Protein backbone atom coordinates (compact mmCIF):
# COMPACT_ATOMS: atom_id res chain seq x y z
CA UNK A 1 0.00 0.00 0.00
CA UNK A 2 2.79 2.36 0.94
CA UNK A 3 4.66 1.54 -2.28
CA UNK A 4 1.50 2.07 -4.31
CA UNK A 5 0.93 5.46 -2.72
CA UNK A 6 4.54 6.40 -3.44
CA UNK A 7 3.83 5.95 -7.16
CA UNK A 8 1.49 8.94 -6.90
CA UNK A 9 4.30 11.34 -5.98
CA UNK A 10 4.78 12.38 -9.60
CA UNK A 11 1.07 12.51 -10.44
CA UNK A 12 -0.96 15.74 -10.36
CA UNK A 13 -3.69 16.04 -7.71
CA UNK A 14 -6.69 16.14 -10.04
CA UNK A 15 -10.22 14.89 -9.41
CA UNK A 16 -11.88 12.30 -11.66
CA UNK A 17 -13.71 15.14 -13.38
CA UNK A 18 -10.59 17.21 -13.97
CA UNK A 19 -10.31 19.73 -11.14
CA UNK A 20 -6.77 20.48 -10.04
CA UNK A 21 -5.74 20.97 -6.44
CA UNK A 22 -2.33 22.18 -5.31
CA UNK A 23 -0.89 20.16 -2.44
CA UNK A 24 1.96 21.87 -0.61
CA UNK A 25 3.83 20.96 2.56
CA UNK A 26 4.05 22.28 6.11
CA UNK A 27 7.66 21.98 7.21
CA UNK A 28 9.96 23.09 10.02
CA UNK A 29 13.33 22.02 8.60
CA UNK A 30 15.27 21.22 5.45
CA UNK A 31 14.99 17.56 6.32
CA UNK A 32 11.20 17.79 6.24
CA UNK A 33 11.45 19.54 2.89
CA UNK A 34 13.29 16.50 1.51
CA UNK A 35 10.51 14.19 2.75
CA UNK A 36 7.90 16.51 1.27
CA UNK A 37 9.55 16.58 -2.12
CA UNK A 38 9.76 12.79 -2.08
CA UNK A 39 6.02 12.82 -1.45
CA UNK A 40 5.39 15.14 -4.38
CA UNK A 41 4.81 18.43 -2.54
CA UNK A 42 4.16 21.39 -4.82
CA UNK A 43 6.18 23.83 -2.78
CA UNK A 44 6.09 24.82 0.87
CA UNK A 45 2.78 26.28 2.06
CA UNK A 46 4.03 26.84 5.59
CA UNK A 47 7.57 26.99 6.91
CA UNK A 48 7.30 27.19 10.71
CA UNK A 49 10.45 29.17 11.49
CA UNK A 50 10.17 28.91 15.29
CA UNK A 51 12.04 25.63 15.18
CA UNK A 52 15.10 27.53 14.00
CA UNK A 53 14.91 29.49 17.24
CA UNK A 54 14.53 26.45 19.50
CA UNK A 55 17.14 24.18 21.11
CA UNK A 56 19.83 26.82 21.30
CA UNK A 57 21.03 29.52 23.68
CA UNK A 58 20.44 32.77 21.76
CA UNK A 59 18.45 34.18 18.86
CA UNK A 60 19.71 33.01 15.45
CA UNK A 61 21.59 35.75 13.59
CA UNK A 62 20.42 37.20 10.27
CA UNK A 63 23.08 35.20 8.42
CA UNK A 64 22.15 31.95 10.13
CA UNK A 65 18.50 32.44 9.24
CA UNK A 66 19.31 33.55 5.71
CA UNK A 67 21.37 30.42 5.19
CA UNK A 68 18.42 28.14 6.03
CA UNK A 69 15.81 30.19 4.15
CA UNK A 70 18.03 30.37 1.05
CA UNK A 71 18.70 26.66 1.04
CA UNK A 72 14.99 25.93 1.30
CA UNK A 73 14.17 28.39 -1.47
CA UNK A 74 16.80 26.84 -3.73
CA UNK A 75 15.82 23.27 -2.97
CA UNK A 76 12.19 24.08 -3.81
CA UNK A 77 13.41 24.78 -7.38
CA UNK A 78 11.14 27.69 -8.20
CA UNK A 79 8.05 26.39 -6.41
CA UNK A 80 6.53 28.73 -3.81
CA UNK A 81 8.01 28.78 -0.31
CA UNK A 82 5.86 30.52 2.30
CA UNK A 83 7.98 31.56 5.28
CA UNK A 84 6.01 32.36 8.42
CA UNK A 85 7.60 34.82 10.83
CA UNK A 86 8.25 33.76 14.40
CA UNK A 87 5.21 32.22 16.11
CA UNK A 88 6.22 31.69 19.73
CA UNK A 89 4.18 32.14 22.86
CA UNK A 90 1.08 30.05 23.52
CA UNK A 91 2.51 26.56 23.85
CA UNK A 92 5.92 27.36 22.29
CA UNK A 93 8.68 28.79 24.49
CA UNK A 94 12.35 29.67 23.98
CA UNK A 95 14.82 28.86 26.79
CA UNK A 96 16.75 32.12 26.35
CA UNK A 97 13.76 34.44 25.93
CA UNK A 98 11.78 34.83 29.14
CA UNK A 99 8.13 35.32 28.31
CA UNK A 100 5.92 36.69 31.07
CA UNK A 101 3.89 34.29 33.20
CA UNK A 102 0.38 34.58 31.83
CA UNK A 103 -3.01 33.30 32.95
CA UNK A 104 -4.00 32.75 29.32
CA UNK A 105 -0.91 32.30 27.16
CA UNK A 106 -2.95 31.55 24.03
CA UNK A 107 -4.67 34.91 24.47
CA UNK A 108 -1.46 36.65 25.38
CA UNK A 109 1.97 37.70 24.22
CA UNK A 110 2.26 35.60 21.08
CA UNK A 111 3.45 35.53 17.48
CA UNK A 112 3.04 38.84 15.59
CA UNK A 113 2.37 40.60 18.89
CA UNK A 114 5.91 39.78 20.02
CA UNK A 115 7.38 40.65 16.62
CA UNK A 116 5.75 44.08 16.58
CA UNK A 117 6.81 44.66 20.18
CA UNK A 118 10.41 43.69 19.37
CA UNK A 119 11.25 45.31 15.99
CA UNK A 120 14.93 44.42 16.50
CA UNK A 121 14.09 40.69 16.35
CA UNK A 122 11.48 41.15 13.65
CA UNK A 123 13.68 43.21 11.33
CA UNK A 124 16.48 40.66 11.63
CA UNK A 125 14.11 37.91 10.50
CA UNK A 126 12.55 40.03 7.75
CA UNK A 127 15.98 40.88 6.31
CA UNK A 128 16.91 37.19 6.27
CA UNK A 129 13.65 36.29 4.50
CA UNK A 130 14.04 39.14 2.01
CA UNK A 131 17.60 38.11 1.14
CA UNK A 132 16.35 34.56 0.50
CA UNK A 133 13.69 35.98 -1.83
CA UNK A 134 16.48 36.60 -4.37
CA UNK A 135 16.88 32.79 -4.64
CA UNK A 136 13.37 31.52 -5.29
CA UNK A 137 9.64 32.17 -5.04
CA UNK A 138 9.75 33.22 -1.37
CA UNK A 139 6.65 34.67 0.29
CA UNK A 140 6.28 36.07 3.79
CA UNK A 141 3.42 35.14 6.17
CA UNK A 142 2.45 36.81 9.45
CA UNK A 143 0.89 34.68 12.23
CA UNK A 144 -1.95 35.55 14.65
CA UNK A 145 -3.12 38.70 12.88
CA UNK A 146 -6.24 40.17 14.49
CA UNK A 147 -6.43 43.71 13.08
CA UNK A 148 -5.71 45.89 10.06
CA UNK A 149 -3.33 47.95 12.21
CA UNK A 150 -1.07 44.97 12.81
CA UNK A 151 -0.87 44.33 9.08
CA UNK A 152 0.01 47.95 8.36
CA UNK A 153 2.69 47.94 11.05
CA UNK A 154 4.18 44.70 9.75
CA UNK A 155 4.20 46.07 6.21
CA UNK A 156 5.91 49.23 7.42
CA UNK A 157 8.62 47.18 9.09
CA UNK A 158 9.03 45.08 5.95
CA UNK A 159 9.62 48.30 4.05
CA UNK A 160 12.17 49.37 6.61
CA UNK A 161 13.97 46.03 6.28
CA UNK A 162 14.08 46.55 2.50
CA UNK A 163 15.62 49.99 3.06
CA UNK A 164 18.29 48.52 5.30
CA UNK A 165 19.16 45.88 2.71
CA UNK A 166 19.19 48.52 0.00
CA UNK A 167 21.72 50.53 2.00
CA UNK A 168 23.91 47.43 2.20
CA UNK A 169 23.53 46.72 -1.50
CA UNK A 170 21.90 43.32 -0.88
CA UNK A 171 19.58 41.75 -3.44
CA UNK A 172 15.94 40.96 -2.61
CA UNK A 173 12.53 40.75 -4.29
CA UNK A 174 10.88 44.14 -3.74
CA UNK A 175 7.54 42.59 -4.79
CA UNK A 176 7.69 39.72 -2.32
CA UNK A 177 4.11 38.50 -1.76
CA UNK A 178 2.85 39.30 1.73
CA UNK A 179 0.24 37.13 3.43
CA UNK A 180 -1.42 36.63 6.77
CA UNK A 181 -2.66 33.68 8.73
CA UNK A 182 -6.41 33.70 9.29
CA UNK A 183 -6.52 31.91 12.62
CA UNK A 184 -8.24 34.36 14.96
CA UNK A 185 -12.02 34.88 14.63
CA UNK A 186 -11.53 38.65 14.39
CA UNK A 187 -9.46 38.15 11.25
CA UNK A 188 -12.15 36.00 9.65
CA UNK A 189 -14.78 38.59 10.57
CA UNK A 190 -12.81 41.41 8.89
CA UNK A 191 -11.36 39.29 6.10
CA UNK A 192 -12.76 41.75 3.55
CA UNK A 193 -10.78 44.61 5.12
CA UNK A 194 -7.62 42.54 5.50
CA UNK A 195 -7.85 41.34 1.90
CA UNK A 196 -7.35 44.96 0.81
CA UNK A 197 -3.93 44.97 2.44
CA UNK A 198 -2.32 41.63 1.58
CA UNK A 199 -1.56 39.32 -1.34
CA UNK A 200 -2.79 36.08 0.19
CA UNK A 201 -4.53 34.40 3.11
CA UNK A 202 -3.49 31.17 4.73
CA UNK A 203 -6.16 29.72 7.01
CA UNK A 204 -4.77 28.15 10.18
CA UNK A 205 -7.53 25.85 11.31
CA UNK A 206 -5.65 24.59 14.39
CA UNK A 207 -5.87 27.93 16.12
CA UNK A 208 -9.05 29.06 14.38
CA UNK A 209 -10.98 26.09 15.80
CA UNK A 210 -9.55 26.73 19.26
CA UNK A 211 -10.48 30.40 19.24
CA UNK A 212 -13.87 30.12 17.53
CA UNK A 213 -15.05 27.41 19.91
CA UNK A 214 -13.16 28.67 22.98
CA UNK A 215 -11.65 25.19 23.32
CA UNK A 216 -7.96 25.06 24.28
CA UNK A 217 -6.26 22.88 21.67
CA UNK A 218 -3.91 21.44 24.35
CA UNK A 219 -6.52 20.57 27.01
CA UNK A 220 -7.23 16.82 27.08
CA UNK A 221 -10.28 17.25 29.24
CA UNK A 222 -12.18 19.13 26.55
CA UNK A 223 -10.54 17.52 23.53
CA UNK A 224 -13.94 16.02 22.58
CA UNK A 225 -15.22 19.57 22.14
CA UNK A 226 -12.45 20.52 19.72
CA UNK A 227 -14.60 20.17 16.64
CA UNK A 228 -13.15 21.28 13.29
CA UNK A 229 -16.50 20.46 11.67
CA UNK A 230 -18.51 22.76 13.93
CA UNK A 231 -20.89 24.90 11.82
CA UNK A 232 -19.36 28.02 13.36
CA UNK A 233 -15.96 27.00 11.99
CA UNK A 234 -17.42 26.30 8.56
CA UNK A 235 -19.01 29.75 8.53
CA UNK A 236 -15.68 31.37 9.41
CA UNK A 237 -14.06 29.45 6.57
CA UNK A 238 -16.75 30.59 4.16
CA UNK A 239 -16.45 34.21 5.24
CA UNK A 240 -12.70 34.14 4.72
CA UNK A 241 -12.77 32.42 1.34
CA UNK A 242 -15.52 34.69 0.01
CA UNK A 243 -13.59 37.81 1.05
CA UNK A 244 -10.48 36.50 -0.70
CA UNK A 245 -12.41 35.66 -3.83
CA UNK A 246 -14.17 39.05 -3.97
CA UNK A 247 -10.84 40.80 -3.63
CA UNK A 248 -9.05 38.44 -6.04
CA UNK A 249 -6.36 37.26 -3.63
CA UNK A 250 -5.18 33.69 -3.14
CA UNK A 251 -6.44 31.68 -0.18
CA UNK A 252 -5.09 28.37 1.04
CA UNK A 253 -5.48 26.25 4.15
CA UNK A 254 -2.52 25.13 6.25
CA UNK A 255 -4.06 23.79 9.48
CA UNK A 256 -4.40 20.08 10.22
CA UNK A 257 -7.81 20.09 8.57
CA UNK A 258 -6.06 20.46 5.20
CA UNK A 259 -4.60 16.98 5.70
CA UNK A 260 -7.98 15.43 6.60
CA UNK A 261 -9.36 13.63 3.54
CA UNK A 262 -12.89 14.04 4.86
CA UNK A 263 -12.61 17.82 4.38
CA UNK A 264 -12.14 17.63 0.59
CA UNK A 265 -15.88 18.24 -0.11
CA UNK A 266 -15.68 21.37 2.04
CA UNK A 267 -12.71 22.75 0.07
CA UNK A 268 -14.34 21.99 -3.26
CA UNK A 269 -17.62 23.59 -2.22
CA UNK A 270 -15.82 26.69 -0.94
CA UNK A 271 -13.52 26.91 -3.95
CA UNK A 272 -10.25 26.44 -2.06
CA UNK A 273 -7.75 24.86 -4.42
CA UNK A 274 -4.52 24.99 -2.43
CA UNK A 275 -3.91 22.89 0.67
CA UNK A 276 -0.76 22.72 2.75
CA UNK A 277 -0.26 19.77 5.07
CA UNK A 278 2.26 17.68 6.95
CA UNK A 279 4.56 15.72 4.61
CA UNK A 280 3.05 12.44 5.84
CA UNK A 281 -0.45 13.42 4.65
CA UNK A 282 0.41 14.40 1.07
CA UNK A 283 0.10 11.05 -0.69
CA UNK A 284 -2.96 9.94 1.26
CA UNK A 285 -4.83 13.16 0.43
CA UNK A 286 -3.73 13.00 -3.20
CA UNK A 287 -5.00 9.42 -3.45
CA UNK A 288 -8.36 10.62 -2.18
CA UNK A 289 -8.46 13.55 -4.60
CA UNK A 290 -7.75 11.21 -7.52
CA UNK A 291 -10.72 9.07 -6.46
CA UNK A 292 -13.07 12.01 -5.98
CA UNK A 293 -15.72 13.38 -8.30
CA UNK A 294 -15.65 17.12 -7.68
CA UNK A 295 -19.30 17.44 -8.67
CA UNK A 296 -20.43 14.79 -6.18
CA UNK A 297 -18.12 16.04 -3.45
CA UNK A 298 -19.44 19.55 -3.90
CA UNK A 299 -22.98 18.24 -3.35
CA UNK A 300 -21.84 16.73 -0.07
CA UNK A 301 -20.03 19.91 0.86
CA UNK A 302 -23.14 21.96 0.17
CA UNK A 303 -25.19 19.69 2.44
CA UNK A 304 -22.64 20.16 5.22
CA UNK A 305 -23.25 23.88 5.20
CA UNK A 306 -26.97 23.24 5.77
CA UNK A 307 -26.46 21.03 8.82
CA UNK A 308 -26.53 22.45 12.32
CA UNK A 309 -24.55 19.92 14.33
CA UNK A 310 -20.87 19.01 14.21
CA UNK A 311 -21.62 15.31 14.60
CA UNK A 312 -23.98 15.26 11.62
CA UNK A 313 -21.46 17.05 9.45
CA UNK A 314 -18.64 14.76 10.48
CA UNK A 315 -20.78 11.66 9.88
CA UNK A 316 -21.75 12.85 6.41
CA UNK A 317 -18.13 13.56 5.49
CA UNK A 318 -16.90 10.27 6.96
CA UNK A 319 -19.52 8.31 5.03
CA UNK A 320 -18.39 10.08 1.89
CA UNK A 321 -14.81 8.96 2.41
CA UNK A 322 -15.28 5.37 3.58
CA UNK A 323 -16.47 3.53 0.47
CA UNK A 324 -13.44 3.27 -1.80
CA UNK A 325 -14.74 2.48 -5.23
Extract the annotated binding site for phosphoenolpyruvate. 48, 84, 206-207, 217
Distance CA 81, CA 72 (A): 8
Segment interacting with Mg ion (CB under 5 A) among 130-138, 189-197, 204-212, 276-284: 204-212
Residue 304 a catalytic site member = no
Task: Tell me if 261 contacts Mg ion by CB under 5 A.
Answer: no
The catalytically annotated residue of 145, 237, 254, 263 is 254
Do 229 and 192 touch, CB atoms closer than 8 A?
A: no
Binder of ligand PEP out of 137, 207, 250, 269 (CB under 6 A): 207
Binder of ligand PEP out of 206, 242, 273, 303 (CB under 6 A): 206
CA neighbor of 194 nearest in space, from 231, 239, 162, 159:
239
Do 136 and 78 touch, CB atoms closer than 8 A?
A: yes
CB atoms within 10 A of CB 121: 16
Please, which residue, 218 or 295, has the CB nearer to ligand PEP? 218
Binder of Mg ion out of 137, 150, 207, 256 (CB under 5 A): 207
Give the HSE-up count for residue 31: Cα atoms under 13 Å, Cβ half-sphere.
2
CA distances, 244 to each of 40, 47, 137, 270 (Å)? 27, 22, 21, 11
Distance CA 46, CA 140 (A): 10
Distance CA 285, CA 264 (A): 9
Task: Tell me if 48 contacts ligand PEP by CB under 6 A.
Answer: yes
Distance CA 245, CA 224 (A): 33
* Interaction residues for ligand PEP, span 13-32 (CB under 6 A): none
Q: Report what 48 binds from Mg ion, ligand PEP, none; CB cut-off 5-8 Å by kind.
A: ligand PEP
* Interaction residues for ligand PEP, span 70-89 (CB under 6 A): 87
Segment interacting with ligand PEP (CB under 6 A) among 51-59, 199-207, 290-298, 306-314: 199-207
Task: Tell me if 185 contacts ligand PEP by CB under 6 A.
Answer: no
Please, which residue, 37 or 46, has the CB nearer to Mg ion? 46
Task: Tell me if 204 contacts ligand PEP by CB under 6 A.
Answer: yes
**Which residue's beta carbon is nearest to the bound Mg ion?**
207
Q: Report what 85 binds from Mg ion, ligand PEP, none; CB cut-off 5-8 Å by kind.
A: none
**Least distance between ligand PEP and beta carbon 296 (Å):** 28
CA distances, 210 to each of 131, 221, 222, 233 (Å)? 35, 14, 11, 10
Task: Tell me if 254 contacts ligand PEP by CB under 6 A.
Answer: yes
Task: Tell me if 286 contacts ligand PEP by CB under 6 A.
Answer: no
* Interaction residues for Mg ion, span 170-189 (CB under 5 A): 183
Tell me which residues touch ligand PEP (CB under 6 A). 46, 48, 87, 183, 204-207, 254-255
Tell me which residues touch Mg ion (CB under 5 A). 183, 204, 207
The catalytic residue positions are 254
Amino acid sequence: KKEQLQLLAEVDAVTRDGEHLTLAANISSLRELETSLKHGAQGVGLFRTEFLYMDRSEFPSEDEQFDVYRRIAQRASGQPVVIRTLDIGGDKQLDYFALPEEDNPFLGYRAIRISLDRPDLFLTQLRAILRASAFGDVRVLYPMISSVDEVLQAKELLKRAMGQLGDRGEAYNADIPVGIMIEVPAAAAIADLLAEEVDFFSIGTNDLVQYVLAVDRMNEQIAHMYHPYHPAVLRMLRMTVNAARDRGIEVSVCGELAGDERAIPIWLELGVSKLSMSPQSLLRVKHRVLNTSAAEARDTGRQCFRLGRSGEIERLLSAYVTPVR
